[in-house]
Amino acid sequence: MSISFKTLSIVLLLLAVAVCIIILPVQIDAQDPQQQQPNQEEIMQMMGPMMGTMMESMMETVFKVLAKPENAERLATFTKNYYDALIAKGFSKEEALQMAMAMGMPALSGMN
């Protein structure tokens, strides 16, 4: 099936007209100094659903990573080493235990 030059020219012309119809009003609106910009509250309402989706995705990834046994072992090793280091620095076992418990997840502790 071959397309004639005339048919191709008409299709390209129609495509160019369609693009102009879509782009020209957008450019005119963008240059309109009277057009009111959205305020911060409107921007937050527009971004809310997107931010929620991103947060869900990030949390799902964190849970997948934490579910791996090797990561639980790494966390246990860190916690034990931290506890032992606190005792070696002179903290009592009770103090070291409280501080190790308060530390929680090393990578996430700053987000609390």
Highest mean pLDDT among 10-14, 27-31, 103-107: 103-107
pLDDT score for 31: 55
Residue 55: enclosing H or E segment and its boundaries? helix 40-66
pLDDT tens-place string over residues 16-57: 766 656 655 554 555 555 666 777 787 777 777 887 888 888
Mean pLDDT of 62-89: 91
Give me the pLDDT at residue 60, please: 87
Has residue 83 got a pLDDT over 90?
yes
Could you tell me the CA-to-CA distances from 48 to 16, 59, 60, 63 in Å, in that order? 36, 16, 18, 22
pTM for this predicted structure: 0.46
Residues 102 and 94: beta-carbon distance below 8 Å? no
In Å, how far from its chain's centre is CA 21?
Answer: 35
